[in-house]
Amino acid sequence: MIIVEKISEVREVVALMNRKNSLIGFVPTMGALHQGHSSLIKKAKFENQLVICSIFVNPTQFNNKNDLQNYPRTPEKDAELLSHSGCDILFMPPVSEIYPDKELLDMDFGHLELEMEGSFRPGHFKGVATVVSRLFEIVKPDRAYFGEKDFQQLAIIREMNRRLETGITIVGCETLREPDGLAMSSRNIHLTAAERNAAGIIYQSLIIAAKQINNEEIVSVRETAIAAIESFYGFKVQYLEFVDSQTLQPIDKWIYHANQRACIAVLTSHTRLIDNVAL
Ligand code: AMP
């Protein structure tokens, strides 16, 4: 695996390695990598000849300075996991390389960026869309891989990609979980031991909600799930929304064969956890 920091180096290495017109798969990340990230790399490697991963803790998507400062950074461990997962090029740019100026992508995502994560993290998705569009310009991949774990982010990126007509195929990838169901996340290390022990309740409650929803009203399904999660002292459900998977508009009722999703955010003592399941 080759590690580069400059845009010019990415372009050089891609040009060298891409002589035979091989397909490029791209996995953007913020580092502190785990098996969830590794599954994206492996999928990308299976479907493309060349895999590029970026590690960039993107300042413009953090609306809270402490959160940005405390975001875990484990570059050596990350490089090891990536090379074992089949990554060919690791791009780790400094902030100045991605943001020579402070301009953000001027794209209005309307409802998609305002609800759920958007309402708790104002401006977050503008930052995400900006950095991903910038990385797309640099890497010019054929396919880009994103986790369904960040379901709203995936919807925003699909929309941005469609409007910019990049020609890149966006591939959504299934969420990898710990044995108790907790979605793997770089932020899980901020959980206390007691919170980590209890955190499986989030996914377990979503699964129960997804089953109950075919014969109970959404309001009561939501109340039951929130009560179960908040029964652990210190967990606060910021939202639990039942939405259409494409538009992310709230649904009135569950419909067989419709593509619907339950999305949740839970605040713990030192971090926020998000998750979602298909209904
Ligand atoms: P992050 O570094 O957390 O911004 O994540 C980089 C990419 O990995 C995003 O597309 C995430 O959705 C994805 N990802 C994060 N956690 C998981 C997981 N548990 N399973 C699958 N993909 C994930």
pLDDT band at 256 (very low <50, low <70, confident <90, very high): confident
State how far the alpha carbon of 201 is from the alpha carbons of 65, 170, 189, 264, 267, in Å.
29, 31, 17, 12, 13
pTM of the complete model: 0.97
For residue 143, the model assigns a pLDDT of 98
On the question of pLDDT at 91 being above 90, the answer is yes
Ligand 1 in reach of 61 Cβ (< 6 A): no
Specify the residue with its C-alpha closest to ligand 1, atom 18: 36
On the question of pLDDT at 262 being above 90, the answer is yes
pLDDT in tens, 92-140: 999 999 999 888 999 999 999 999 999 999 999 999 999 999 999 999 9
Q: How far is the CA of 274 from the centre of ligand 1 (A)?
A: 11
pLDDT in tens, 194-211: 999 999 999 999 999 999
For residues 15 and 265, the model is more confident at 265
- Buried-exposed string 209-237: b where 16+ CB fall within 10 A, e elsewhere: bbebbeeeebeebbeebbebbeebeebeb
For residue 81, the model assigns a pLDDT of 98
pLDDT in tens, 143-184: 999 999 999 999 999 999 999 999 999 999 999 999 999 999
On the question of pLDDT at 19 being above 80, the answer is no
Note the maximum CA span of the chain: 58
For residues 189 and 19, the model is more confident at 189
Q: Mean pLDDT over residues 82-96, rounded?
A: 97
Ligand 1 in reach of 37 Cβ (< 6 A): yes
User: Annotated catalytic residue: which of 37, 84, 124, 270?
Assistant: 37
Q: How far is the CA of 228 from the centre of ligand 1 (A)?
A: 26
State how far the alpha carbon of 47 is from the alpha carbons of 35, 41, 51, 168, 232, in Å.
18, 10, 9, 14, 42
User: Strand order in 89-91's β-sheet?
Assistant: 2-4, 89-91, 50-55, 24-29, 143-147, 169-173
